[in-house]
Amino acid sequence: VGLGFVTKMAEYMVAADILVSKAGPGTIAEAASLSLPVMLTSFLPGQEEGNVDFVVNGGFGAFISDRDPAGIAEEVGQWLTDGAMAAQLSLKAKENGAPNAARDIVAHIGKLSLKWKQINDDRERLDLEAEQLKLGIPSNDEEEGGVSDSS
């Protein structure tokens, strides 16, 4: 039964055995993260073509045009009645999924932000020390017994 646009997609996917969908990247990523085999039935030329390859080459689904509903039904029926095939598709989906992708991206952005903050803090400190040297004010290193020009 086609549902059209839904707001509880995650709940439907968790309850599903197979996802039948167009080749939207977010939908495919969600399905793979849930180890859900995918039957793709359409794609936007250019924009979503690579998503079909990702699913098919990743071994967790197939593409049959929505112009062939009998072919879709036959393939999906085979997946549902062959436990070994369903398990293999699910395993391949899991291998291609990245359920923690959002967390990992945020962590990486956080690390990069901290690195840039440190670089900028160091730059400000060095700029201040350079200005002090130009004015003849001793640096902290010289005051703490560091390098000095007195012999």
Encoded tokens for 45 = 């030329």
Residue of higher predicted confidence among 143 and 134: 134
pLDDT beyond 60 at 9: yes
Report pLDDT for 151.
46
pLDDT beyond 70 at 122: yes
Q: Which of 29, 34, 31 is nearest to 19 (CA)?
A: 31
- CA dist 34 and 60 (Å) reads 12
* Average pLDDT rounded to a whole number, residues 124-134: 91
* pTM exceeding the 0.95 threshold for the entire prediction: no
